[in-house]
Structure 1
Amino acid sequence: MASEVHYMWQKREQGEFKGVDGIPIRWISIRHPQNERCVVIVNGRNESFWKYQELCYELSRKGYDVYAYDHRGQGASGRLTNDSELGHVICFNDYVSDLHSFITNVVGKQTYRQRFLLAHSMGGAVATLYLEHYQTHFNAVVLNAPMFGINLPVPLKLVASSIAKIIERYQTQPYYVFGHKPYHEAPFEENDQCQSQIRYVWAKHLYQLHPELRVGGPSARWVWQALAAAKSCIRDVEHIHTPVLLLQAGDDTVVDNDSHHLFYSKCPECKMKVIPHARHELLMEKDCLRNQALEDTLDFFETYS
């Protein structure tokens, strides 16, 4: 990370475009004149393209140009509330519109023989809705632990959306949903995201160096918008005509793994693979698990190259 990856990162291109309602959306790319294929990375909630430096390096070495951007309200992009650490969105479809603008106006300016999409968690829901609502020219898509549902106790699943909607209605301004708070750093031993201590510590150090990237818990509106979007992903699955590989983290406690099986059963274009013992952040996991996820991703892309 301090040598080859750092050198690559210093050579990145970066830019900005106006998303829905004029929110500045910031992006980066790693390009080489000889590359004829690209990968667009769609990150998850509370993430930034800064966190994906290792993946950008690996994809670049495999001959892919890499494009990544930060969602509205997080990372290097513009915020929607006075509290810069509140995870908030007005409408989940704004994420989808921003992705469409990024692909059309940034990635679309370059000519490639093949284009691929790689999305994680909330980004998986954003990418799926994009596939369902826009005509795309991607050869294949990989969804890592996509947010087709949030992992909640069964009784709470039935009422979570309604509760979040009621809370949001009576708030005078957006605020953290019950039980959540601004950004804080949990010890590695208490985290439910990954089992790689070195990657976990590196990511936390990144947010110490760049505090402007930090995001804490979600707002009530974000919760009910996200739950509604997750349902839409499965409801409209018949509109997907692009080959999809769904990689599920076997020990995921963040998203609802049952929803992956439902999506898979309804989507003829979808292949699904479970990576046993992996936690939610497959591409931040310890090497034996992360390597498997990366190998499956690259193999899938090669199949459609």
Structure 2
Amino acid sequence: MAYTSAVPDAPFHAAVAEAPRNGKAHWIYAEDGTRLRVAQWPGSDPSKGTVFVFQGRTENIEKYGRAVCSLNSLGYSAFAIDWRGQGLSDRLTEDRMTGHVNRYGDYQKDVTAMLQAGETLDLPKPWFLIAHSLGACIGLRAIIEMNPFEACAFTAPLWDINLSAFQRRAAWPVSWMAQTFGKGHAYAPGTRGEAYVLTTPFEENRLTHDPDTYQYYMNISKSLPDQVVGGPSMGWLFQTLKETRRLSKLPSPDLRCITFCGAQDEIVAIPAIRDRMARWPGGKLEMVPGSRHDVLYEIPEIRQHVMRATNDLFASTGATSNA
């Protein structure tokens, strides 16, 4: 579907998100007709450029309200997206709670639509990327194939799933069979159609050590039940295993990069992150002591460090590109 000069408005819950009030959400369309929601926030210094925010699995744009506040305080504009199957973008299964994708190439259609919308909306350049978890998997592929950004920051990148040897041996054939025989929309073993933050006590969560952040997550899920996503589907599991294996065989792109990974992360496979960053010329890996999965929403000292280090990279790169 082609873009016109006008990008239609979409709903966004700024109060729930604790986001800057100058933001605006829009509907855009991928080439296959899938409707996607994006949101933009102008920064105070257009010369700083725009940070594209690629969200993780189960997330929505509202969850990044506080992070966007930090980016705006540094002068950056921000631009975020709900991937297909998440937030207010089109869902892909009859059960809205299922985290599903038909193939990873579909996520690249979302990226392309987002980049086109960025041009239509005349978002200030240079463009940078902050990508979390699933978003980092999608972002790595986009950088390798299109390289639309001047620099990137990854947090807890999903470059492989954290599975035991037994789980991995079982996951491949079981997920392949489920998708092959029409059961790809079924929940992966051990998961269900419930919001993680609403069914997991803070003391047992794998996301953050910060109770205020966890309450923030819970408030968003309770306030916006139509945006909640539950467990992944068998199809999502198979496609993720396939995409991460394919990506692992590709060389790292020629792009300035910093990656943050919580030393206590139990969701993504840390060895895959170490391997990727060890062969990323000019790339830097920071293992964050005392952090779980979501370093952008950890205790204040951690998230402030992550944002500061990211700004140092973007600001130095932006100054070079604007010279």
Partner of 1:270: 283
Given the alignment of the two structures, is residue 39 of structure 1 paired with residue 51 of structure 2, yes or no? yes
Distance 2:189 2:201 in 1: 22
- Within 5 Å, which residues of 2 pair with 1:143-292? 143-172=154-183, 174-184=185-195, 185=198, 186-238=200-252, 240-292=253-305
| CA displacement 1:242-276 (0-9 Å, x = unmatched) | 11111111110000000011111222242211111
Distance 2:56 2:261 in 1: 15
Runs of 4+ more than 4 Å apart: none
AA partner of residue 183 (structure 1): E
Aligned-pair CA distance for 1:111: 5.4
Normalising by structure 1, report the TM-score: 0.93
Comparing 27-36 with 148-157, greater Cα deviation is found at 27-36
Given the alignment of the two structures, is residue 68 of structure 1 paired with residue 80 of structure 2, yes or no? yes
Structure 2: any 5+ residue segments left out of the alignment?
1-13, 319-323
AA partner of residue 271 (structure 1): K
Distance 1:111 1:194 in 2: 32
**Which secondary structure state, in structure 1, belongs to the residue aligned with residue 90 of structure 2?**
coil
Say if 1:171 and 1:201 are closer, same or farther in 2 by CA, change over 3 A. Answer: same
Partner of 2:309: 296
Distance 1:300 1:284 in 2: 20
Comparing 98-107 with 168-177, greater Cα deviation is found at 168-177
| CA displacement 1:218-259 (0-9 Å, x = unmatched) | 000000101111122221234x12111111111100000000
Considering only aligned residues, what root-mean-square deviation do their CA atoms show, in Å?
Answer: 1.9
> Percent of pairs identical after alignment?
25
**Which secondary structure state, in structure 2, belongs to the residue aligned with residue 22 of structure 1?**
coil
Say if 1:177 and 1:63 are closer, same or farther in 2 by CA, change over 3 A. Answer: same
Comparing 11-20 with 114-123, greater Cα deviation is found at 11-20
Distance 1:147 1:271 in 2: 17
Contact 1:251 1:278 in 2 (8 A): yes
AA partner of residue 187 (structure 2): Y
Distance 1:255 1:249 in 2: 10
| CA displacement 1:171-227 (0-9 Å, x = unmatched) | 456111111101241111111111111111111111111101100000000001011
Normalising by structure 2, report the TM-score: 0.88
Aligned-pair CA distance for 1:151: 0.6
Contact 1:192 1:280 in 2 (8 A): yes
**Which secondary structure state, in structure 2, belongs to the residue aligned with residue 74 of structure 1?**
coil
Partner of 2:138: 126
Say if 1:225 and 1:172 are closer, same or farther in 2 by CA, change over 3 A. Answer: closer
AA partner of residue 241 (structure 2): L
Given the alignment of the two structures, is residue 105 of structure 1 paired with residue 117 of structure 2, yes or no? yes
AA partner of residue 105 (structure 2): N
Contact 1:275 1:293 in 2 (8 A): no
**Which secondary structure state, in structure 2, belongs to the residue aligned with residue 231 of structure 1?**
helix
AA partner of residue 251 (structure 2): V
